[in-house]
Chains A and B, each alone.
Chain A
């Protein structure tokens, strides 16, 4: 499920997650097959990247975290959580954050 920049979208691609605007309203639903008009819509709302089906396109930067390698993210998380691991819920949040960071990396 690559996340690709809107500028690289092509008609016919299928969204695997809803595209939302900054108010959180869905612009397009998951499963939508993109048309030229849809792509213009996304651009006009300033959406920078969306999640699409298949392995077309490269993994796009979707935020500052994507400029970090998986190792760097894990290192950063390790440091951040070093003082709160005695709290079971924080340990759980840490585990989830690590898992999701690794999953992001494996997509590339």
Chain B
């Protein structure tokens, strides 16, 4: 099965979402690149790196574990049983061990050790399984290295802050898919991680310009490079065969009005990004706030009075979620004590 060819597919002219299938791919469906603004159209007229170079680099990135993709897809299928999902997860020993460890941790407080992945899936729930697998894959990409004084952990913290904010805003708006919003928030700036790792000189230059001129990271990278982290993130999402919706959100979180039928979710992540910055959760590299996209604010129709409780809730949740992500061993040693 060939991967979508980002050298050709994005050159299609349609830039508005057109397909109405759900956001998750079946085995025979590649992500709908036609519904995503063309990378070819968005990347540089005077970029230091050529489009071909960026594509080559992104293609060399590790792929998302197959099991993560398949689980994401299966969870959305109402016909999937815990047994089906268990069989899929069991293909990957690392993920199997991780899930068993989690389900045997103290939170669930079961008197006996759960050794079957199917039982673990029933206990954790389909959506938690999906979120857990995606999150752990993302976390591995972030890593912990500190380069040139800029710590990637700041990016991770910003991502976590945005993830929590996305879910919190979603809940206040009565959004039905809070787990998905969490993952979208976590991934929205994934292009920056790729830039930091693989186009490091350009990335550092952007950070320098951002600091010198009091402009946003997005403005600086477009000034300097004429491609930006949303384009790189979109490429990675395509390379990873992430659900179409996630790819669209990553590509458009600075201009949600272009996200077509995923405009609402993209607008939520856009606002969440701003709230995470306002709370100084980590750093996305910005020295000044990006403007709130007026279309997004109008479209979401969020009661302004809800901003304060939402931001207070972020304050409460953030340290605990950060602590979980930053652990070397997120599940900890299993113990079987009963939570109070």
Q: Does A76 reach chain B (CB closer than 8 Å)?
A: yes
Q: Does B198 reach chain A (CB closer than 8 Å)?
A: no
The smallest beta-carbon distance between B113 and chain A, in angstroms, is 14
B287 partner residues in chain A, CB cutoff 8 A: 79-80
19 additional contacts (CB under 8 A) given A45-B324, A89-B292, A96-B307: A20-B321, A22-B324, A23-B131, A27-B107, A45-B107, A46-B326, A46-B332, A47-B324, A48-B319, A50-B320, A62-B318, A63-B157, A65-B281, A83-B288, A84-B289, A87-B292, A96-B308, A97-B278, A100-B279
Q: Does A106 reach chain B (CB closer than 8 Å)?
A: no
Determine whether the beta carbon of A100 is less than 8 Å from that of B315.
yes
The smallest beta-carbon distance between B237 and chain A, in angstroms, is 22
- Cβ-closest 3 pairs across A and B: A22-B324, A62-B319, A44-B332
Determine whether the beta carbon of A84 is less than 8 Å from that of B320.
no
The smallest beta-carbon distance between A60 and chain B, in angstroms, is 9
CA distance A57 to B106 in the complex (A): 25
From the candidates B277, B330, B333, B338, name the one contacting A22 in the complex (CB within 8 A).
B330
Determine whether the beta carbon of B340 is less than 8 Å from that of A21.
no
> Chain A 87-108, CB within 8 Å of chain B: the 1/0 string?
1011011101100110010000
* Interface size range on B against A: 35 or more
* Interface size range on A against B: 35 or more
Q: Does A10 reach chain B (CB closer than 8 Å)?
A: no
CA distance A22 to B161 in the complex (A): 11
Q: Does A52 reach chain B (CB closer than 8 Å)?
A: no
CA distance A11 to B289 in the complex (A): 43
Determine whether the beta carbon of A32 is less than 8 Å from that of B288.
no
The smallest beta-carbon distance between B292 and chain A, in angstroms, is 5
- Residue in chain B with minimal CB distance to A99: B308
- Residue in chain B with minimal CB distance to A22: B324
> Chain B 129-168, CB within 8 Å of chain A: the 1/0 string?
0011001000000000000000000100100000010010
- Residue in chain B with minimal CB distance to A84: B289
From the candidates B106, B308, B320, name the one contacting A41 in the complex (CB within 8 A).
B106
B289 partner residues in chain A, CB cutoff 8 A: 80-81, 83-84, 90
Q: Does B301 reach chain A (CB closer than 8 Å)?
A: no
Q: Does B317 reach chain A (CB closer than 8 Å)?
A: yes
Which residues of B, 283-315, contact A by the 8 Å Cβ criterion?
A: 286-292, 294, 297, 304, 307-308, 311-312, 315
From the candidates A24, A65, A84, name the one contacting B182 in the complex (CB within 8 A).
A24
Determine whether the beta carbon of A45 is less than 8 Å from that of B325.
no
Do A24 and B167 form a contact, CB below 8 Å, given A37-B340, A45-B106, A63-B318?
A: yes
Q: Does B316 reach chain A (CB closer than 8 Å)?
A: yes
The smallest beta-carbon distance between A83 and chain B, in angstroms, is 5
Q: Does B12 reach chain A (CB closer than 8 Å)?
A: no
From the candidates B182, B214, B323, name the one contacting A82 in the complex (CB within 8 A).
B214
Determine whether the beta carbon of B291 is less than 8 Å from that of A87.
yes
A34 partner residues in chain B, CB cutoff 8 A: 340
The smallest beta-carbon distance between B138 and chain A, in angstroms, is 12
Q: Does B282 reach chain A (CB closer than 8 Å)?
A: yes
CA distance A32 to B340 in the complex (A): 7
Q: Does B322 reach chain A (CB closer than 8 Å)?
A: yes
Which residues of A, 56-86, contact B by the 8 Å Cβ criterion?
A: 62-65, 68, 73, 76-77, 79-84
